[in-house]
C-alpha cells in the first residue's frame, strides 16, 4: 500500500465533566489510503462521532484529545495551532454532518456560502468562484445549478440540502472527507441517490472518506473497509465483505445476527443482552465482556489487536476461530 | 377471515386555521395561506383479528396520520374506523380503550416528572381495570411481562435507557388490555442490538396476548420481519396491499418495486460493488400533489392515462390489491427475469 493520506495512531479523546472523565474515544488507530472509503460503525455512544470530530480538531471543552497522533498527508494535526488547523479544515480535510439544516446558514444564499468557503482558502474572482460552485452543484446532482446559487437553504428539500453540504465539502478537493451519518435523516430513495453519488465521487476525485454510520447495510454497500467501534474502541477492522460474512469479534457477530434481515420473518431475532456500558465507568478490560457469551476471566484484562491476513480484532475468544471455547 | 378493524374511506386534511380577518382577506384576494395538505386520502383497509399489518412508506406519506386515525387520537376529516363494528371515535374524541398506541420517541412519550409506575397505572385506574389499592401489583405484573424489574416502578423516566423506556411505553399500552395495538415506529430511535430486543418482545406479546396490531415503520426489513400483511403508502394513499411474502417477493406497484430496490442490502457474498437502483426525483410536495396517479412523475412505466386517471385499488387476486394502471406489465416483467 502506498502512503496513507490519513493515519491515526492511538487516538484518545476524553471529556472532563463534573461527573467524571468520559472516555469517549480510547486508543483508536486506522489508516486510510487515497480514494478509500472506510465505514466507521457502532451504536450510539460508541465514540464514532467524537472520533470524526477529533480528526478535524473540532472537539470543544470539556473534551480534548489526550493522547495519540493524527497524520494528514504526513503532517501531524494534534500539535498544530488553531490557525494552522483552520488552514487545513475545509481545504485538506472536510466534514459532512448528519443534519444539513444545521450546517447551512439560513440567512445566506447557497452561492454566498460557497463563495465564503472558497475565499477562506483561495483568492479567486467572483466569476471563477461562481463557475466552480455551479460545477460542483451539478456534480452532486442538483438540477439547474447556476440558478440555484441564488436560492436560500429553506428553498431546498432535505436531500437537496445534503447535496449542497456535500458540494461545499468538496469545494477544495480535500484529501479526506469525514461524513457523519449524512444519509440518516433522509428517505431511502434519496439515500440511494446520494450513496451512489458519493461512491462515484470518491472514485473520480481520489478523495478518501471516513463514513460514520450505525447502519451496517449502508456501509456494506459503500465502504471497502470497515471499523467497528464499541465503547470508544475499535474492536474489529477489515475488508467489508469479509468482516460481515465472517466476523471475529463477538460484538460484531452479535450486531450482524441481530439484524431482521438475518432471520426468518416472524422468528425471534438474535439479541445481544444488556445495553452499552456508561463511558464514565467502563468495566475492567474488554468493555463488551459483561454482555459477551464468550467472556472468561481473561477478559478483565486488555486484549491487544490480533493481526491476521489484512484484518484485525481485539478479543481473546474470537468467533469462528478454532481457539478452545471457554467453559 | 372477516375484518376486525375496519377503516373506511378515511381522509385527513390539515389546513391552516384561519381567523375571521384572514378569511375575509382570503375572500378579497389577500395573500393568505389557504392551501391544505391531504395527509391521508380516501384509505380503505381492514385488519383481521390477530394479524399484524405493516404500514410502510417514506416520510410524509401519511402512515403516522393514518395510524393515529386508527388509534382514535386524531379525528379523520371524513371516513370511519371501527373495531369489531364499534367506532373508535365519537364526537371527535376517543370512544374506546380497545386500541392503544406505542409511539416512536420514548423520551417524549413519558412524563419526566412522573414515576413510571404512576404513568402506567393512570389509565387502568381511570378505566376500572384495577383499583388504586391494587395498582402497584397490577403494574408490577406488566413490568415483569415486558422484561423490566418490577422494583423499578418507583423510578423516573430519566433513569432508564431508550430501550427500557420503550418497554415502559409498551407496558403502559398493554396495561389497558387492548385488543388492538398501534406501533408507530417503535424501534426507529433505538440501536440495532436494542431494536432486536424490542422486536422480539413485540412478537412474543402479540402472540401470547393474541393482539391485532398495526406496525408502522419506514424500515422495510423490520416490516418484513414482523408483519403478516403489508400496506405500502405513497403521498397519502395506499398503493399496494398484500401478504408480506408476496409483496416483498414480487412487488406489483412500480413504487413498491423502486422503494425495495433503493434499500441498501447487507452485502455478504463478495467484495463487488453494489448497484444502487435509484428512483428519479423526490416525493412531490403534498401541498400540490400531481394529478392522476401520485407516482406518475417518477414512474418509469407512466403513460398519458397516469397523468389524468387516478388508479383505484384493484384486486390482483383474493388477498392482494394494487393501485396502478400498468401493474400487469410490471408483474409480467418480473416473471420473465
The CATH number of the domain where A197 resides is what? 3.40.50.300
Question: Has residue B5 got a pLDDT over 60?
Answer: yes
pLDDT in tens, B210-261: 999 999 998 899 999 999 999 999 999 999 999 999 999 989 999 999 888 8
In this structure, are A160 and A190 located in the same domain? no
For the record, the C-alpha cell of B193 comes out as: 442490538
Q: In chain B, which residues have their Cβ closer than 8 Å to the Cβ of A43?
A: 191-194
Beta bridge partners of B321: B241, B315
Measured between CB atoms, does A141 come within 8 Å of chain B? no
Q: Is A209 in the same domain as A264?
A: yes
- State yes or no: pLDDT of A320 exceeds 90: no
State whether A235 and A252 are in the same domain: yes
The total number of residues shown for chain B amounts to 337
**Residue A17 shares a structural domain with residue A117:** no
How far apart CA A124 and CA A156 sit, in angstroms, is 27
pLDDT band of B334, cuts 50, 70, 90 = very low
Distance from C-alpha of A183 to C-alpha of A193, rounded to nearest angstrom = 10
Angular region, A146: left φ>0, alpha ψ -120 to 50, beta rest: alpha
Does residue A163 sit in the same domain as residue A61?
no
Instruction: Check A271 against B266: CB less than 8 A apart.
Output: no
Any B CB within 8 A of A157 CB: yes
| CA angle, A156 then A162 then A163, to 5° | 85
Checking if the pLDDT of B66 tops 60, the result is yes
Q: Which member of A217, A263, A268 has the closest CB to residue B264?
A: A217
CB pairs under 8 A between A and B: 139
| pLDDT band (50, 70, 90) for residue B9 | very high
Same domain, A167 and A118: yes
Q: Which residue has the cell 431508550?
A: B162
Do the Cβ atoms of A46 and A75 come closer than 8 Å? Answer: no
- Whether A302 is in a domain gets the answer no
Amino acid B337: pLDDT: 36
* Residue A300 resides in a domain: no
H runs (alpha helix) in A93-215: 100-103, 110-119, 126-139, 145-148, 158-170, 188-205
Question: Per residue in A269-306, pLDDT tens?
Answer: 888 888 888 888 888 889 999 999 888 889 998 888 99
**At residue B272, does pLDDT exceed 60?**
no
ipTM at complex level: 0.76
Of A113-117, A191-195, B149-153, the least confident: A191-195
Taking an 8 Å cut-off on Cβ atoms, the answer to whether B225 and A195 are in contact is no
At residue B146, the pLDDT reads 93
pLDDT at residue B10 tops 90: yes
A76 shares a domain with A182 = yes
Over residues B16-39, the mean pLDDT reads 79
- Per-residue pLDDT tens for B70-83? 999 999 999 999 99
Q: How far apart are CA B81 and CA B325, in angstroms?
A: 28
Q: How far is CA B302 from CA B153, B227, B254, B256, B327, in A?
A: 56, 30, 9, 14, 11
Residue A22 belongs to domain spanning = 6-92+175-270
Q: What is the pLDDT of residue A326?
A: 45
Residue A281 lies in a domain: no
Domain C-terminal end among A270, A295, A320? A270
Q: Can you spell out the DSSP letters for B251-289?
A: --SHHHHHHHHHSPPPP-S-SPPPPP-PPSS-PPPTTSP
Among A270, A299, A322, residue at a domain's last position: A270
CB contact under 8 A, A258 and B58: no
Backbone φ and ψ for B137, nearest 5 degrees, come out as: -65, -40
Question: What pLDDT, on a 0 to 100 scale, did the predictor assign at position A28?
Answer: 95
Q: Is there a domain that residue A188 lies in?
A: yes
Q: CB A275 to CB B163 under 8 A?
A: yes
Cell of B94: 376517543
Q: How many CB atoms lie within 10 A of CB B330?
A: 20
Span A243-251, average pLDDT: 92
A271 touches B at CB < 8 Å = yes
pLDDT for the residue numbered A2: 67
Confidence of residue B176 (pLDDT cuts 50, 70, 90): very high
Q: Is the pLDDT of residue B321 over 90?
A: yes
Domains of chain B by residue range = 3-251, 252-337
For residue A189, tell me if it sits in a domain.
Answer: yes
The cell numbers describing A65, all together, are: 484529545
pLDDT at B1: 52
Domains in chain A: how many in total? 2
Q: Do B264 and A220 touch (CB under 8 A)?
A: yes
- Of A251, A270, A289, the domain-final residue: A270
Q: Work out the average pLDDT over A310-314.
A: 92
Same structural domain, A187 and A150 = no
Task: Give the chain B residue nearest A291 (alpha carbons).
Answer: B193
Q: Is A116 on the interface with B (CB under 8 A)?
A: no
Contact A259/B224, CB-based, under 8 Å? no
Residue B58: list chain A partners with CB under 8 A.
187-189
pTM of the model: 0.83
Phi, psi of B114 (to 5 degrees): -105, 140
For residues A197 and A140, the answer to whether their CB atoms sit within 8 Å is yes
Residue B19's pLDDT band, with cuts at 50, 70 and 90, is confident
Cell, residue B28: 378579497
Flag whether A277 is in a domain: no
pLDDT tens string A81-109: 999 999 999 899 999 988 877 889 999 99
Mean pLDDT of B108-112: 89
- Give A-chain residues touching B269 at CB under 8 angstroms: 241, 245
Are A275 and B59 inside 8 Å of each other by CB?
A: no
Confidence of residue A308 (pLDDT cuts 50, 70, 90): confident
pLDDT at residue B268 in the model? 65
Q: Does residue A186 sit in the same domain as residue A264?
A: yes
Beta bridge partners, B78, equal B11
Vertex B249: Cα angle to B247 and B254 (nearest 5):
60
Contacts of A254 in chain B (CB under 8 A): 193
Strands B237-243 and B314-317, sheet pairing: unpaired
> In terms of domains, do A254 and A113 share one?
no
Q: CA angle, B163 as apex, B83 and A100 as ends, to 5°?
A: 95
Q: Which residues of B touch A287 (CB under 8 A)?
A: none
Residue with cell 420514548: B106
Cβ(A183)–Cβ(A131) below 8 Å: no
User: Chain B: residue nearest A238 by CA?
Assistant: B271
Pick one of 3.30.70.1710, 3.40.50.300, 1.10.3720.10, 3.30.540.10 as the CATH number of B3-251: 3.40.50.300
Note whether residue A251 is domain-resident.
yes
Residue A294 lies in a domain: no
Q: Do A254 and B193 touch (CB under 8 A)?
A: yes
Distances (CA, A) of B39 to A141, A211, B258, B313: 29, 35, 22, 18
CA A244, A249, A253 angle in degrees (round to 5)? 50
Quickly count helices (H) and strands (E) in chain B. 11, 14
Q: Are residues A138 and A183 in the same domain?
A: no
In whole angstroms, give the CA distance from residue A307 to residue A298: 19
Indicate if A115 and A145 belong to the same structural domain. Answer: yes
The alpha carbons of chain B give a radius of gyration, in whole angstroms, of 22
* Residues found in chain A: 327
Amino acid at each position: 500500500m502506498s502512503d496513507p493520506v490519513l493515519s491515526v495512531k492511538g487516538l484518545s479523546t476524553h471529556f472532563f465533566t463534573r461527573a467524571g472523565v468520559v472516555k469517549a474515544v480510547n486508543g483508536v488507530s486506522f489508516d486510510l489510503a487515497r480514494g478509500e472509503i472506510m465505514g466507521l460503525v457502532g451504536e450510539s455512544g460508541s465514540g464514532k462521532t467524537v472520533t470524526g470530530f477529533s480528526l478535524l480538531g473540532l472537539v470543544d471543552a470539556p473534551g480534548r484529545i489526550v493522547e495519540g497522533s493524527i497524520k494528514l498527508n504526513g503532517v501531524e494535526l494534534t500539535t498544530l495551532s488553531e490557525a494552522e488547523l483552520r488552514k487545513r479544515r475545509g481545504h485538506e480535510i472536510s466534514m459532512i454532518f448528519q443534519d444539513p439544516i444545521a450546517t447551512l446558514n439560513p440567512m445566506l444564499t447557497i452561492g454566498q456560502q460557497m463563495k465564503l468557503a472558497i475565499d477562506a482558502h483561495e483568492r479567486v474572482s467572483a466569476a471563477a468562484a461562481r463557475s466552480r460552485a455551479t460545477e460542483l452543484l451539478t456534480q452532486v446532482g442538483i438540477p439547474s445549478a447556476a440558478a440555484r446559487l441564488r436560492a436560500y437553504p429553506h428553498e431546498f428539500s432535505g436531500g437537496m440540502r445534503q447535496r449542497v453540504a456535500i458540494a461545499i465539502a468538496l469545494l477544495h478537493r480535500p484529501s479526506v472527507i469525514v461524513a457523519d451519518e449524512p444519509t440518516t435523516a433522509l428517505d431511502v430513495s434519496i439515500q440511494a441517490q446520494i450513496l451512489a453519488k458519493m461512491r462515484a465521487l470518491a472514485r473520480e476525485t481520489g478523495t478518501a472518506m471516513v463514513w460514520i454510520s450505525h447502519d451496517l447495510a449502508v456501509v456494506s454497500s459503500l465502504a471497502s473497509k470497515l471499523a467497528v467501534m464499541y465503547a470508544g474502541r475499535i474492536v474489529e477492522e477489515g475488508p467489508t465483505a469479509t468482516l460481515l460474512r465472517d466476523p471475529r469479534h463477538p460484538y460484531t457477530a452479535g450486531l450482524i445476527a441481530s439484524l431482521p434481515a438475518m432471520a426468518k420473518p416472524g422468528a425471534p431475532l438474535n439479541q445481544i443482552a444488556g445495553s452499552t456500558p456508561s463511558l464514565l465507568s467502563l468495566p475492567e478490560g474488554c468493555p463488551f465482556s459483561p454482555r459477551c457469551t464468550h467472556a472468561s476471566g481473561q477478559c478483565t484484562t486488555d486484549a491487544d489487536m490480533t493481526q491476521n491476513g489484512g484484518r484485525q480484532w481485539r478479543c481473546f475468544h474470537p468467533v469462528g476461530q478454532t481457539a478452545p471455547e471457554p467453559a | 377471515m372477516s375484518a376486525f378493524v375496519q377503516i373506511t374511506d378515511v381522509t385527513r386534511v390539515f389546513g391552516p386555521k384561519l381567523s375571521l380577518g384572514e378569511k375575509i382577506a382570503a375572500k378579497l384576494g389577500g395573500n393568505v395561506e389557504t392551501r391544505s395538505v391531504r395527509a391521508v386520502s380516501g384509505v380503505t383497509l381492514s385488519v383481521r383479528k390477530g394479524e399484524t399489518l405493516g404500514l410502510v412508506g417514506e416520510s410524509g406519506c401519511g402512515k403516522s396520520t393514518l395510524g393515529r386515525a386508527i388509534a382514535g387520537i386524531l379525528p379523520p376529516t371524513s371516513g370511519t374506523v371501527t373495531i369489531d363494528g364499534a367506532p373508535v371515535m365519537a364526537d371527535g374524541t376517543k370512544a374506546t380503550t380497545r386500541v392503544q398506541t406505542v409511539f416512536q420517541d420514548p423520551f417524549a412519550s413519558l412524563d419526566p416528572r412522573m414515576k413510571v409506575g404512576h404513568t402506567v397505572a393512570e389509565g387502568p385506574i381511570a378505566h376500572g381495570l384495577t383499583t388504586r389499592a391494587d395498582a402497584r401489583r397490577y403494574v408490577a405484573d406488566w413490568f415483569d411481562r415486558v422484561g423490566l424489574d418490577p422494583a423499578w416502578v418507583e423510578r423516573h423516566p430519566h433513569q432508564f435507557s431508550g430501550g427500557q423506556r420503550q418497554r415502559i411505553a409498551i407496558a403502559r399500552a398493554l396495561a389497558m388490555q387492548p385488543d388492538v395495538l398501534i406501533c408507530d415506529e417503535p424501534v426507529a430511535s433505538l440501536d440495532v442490538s436494542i431494536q432486536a430486543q424490542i422486536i422480539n418482545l413485540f412478537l412474543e406479546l402479540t402472540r401470547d396476548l393474541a393482539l391485532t396490531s398495526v406496525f408502522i415503520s419506514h424500515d422495510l426489513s423490520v416490516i418484513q420481519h414482523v408483519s403478516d400483511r403489508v400496506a405500502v403508502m405513497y403521498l397519502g394513499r395506499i398503493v399496494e396491499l398484500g401478504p408480506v411474502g408476496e409483496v416483498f417477493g414480487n412487488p406489483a406497484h412500480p413504487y413498491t418495486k423502486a422503494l425495495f430496490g433503493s434499500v441498501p442490502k447487507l452485502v455478504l457474498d463478495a467484495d463487488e460493488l453494489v448497484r444502487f437502483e435509484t428512483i428519479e426525483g423526490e416525493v412531490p410536495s403534498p401541498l400540490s400533489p400531481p394529478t392522476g396517479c401520485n407516482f406518475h412523475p417518477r414512474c418509469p412505466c407512466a403513460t398519458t392515462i397516469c397523468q389524468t386517471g387516478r388508479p383505484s385499488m384493484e384486486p390482483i387476486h383474493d388477498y392482494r390489491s394494487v393501485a396502478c394502471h400498468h401493474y400487469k406489465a410490471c408483474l409480467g416483467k418480473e416473471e420473465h427475469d
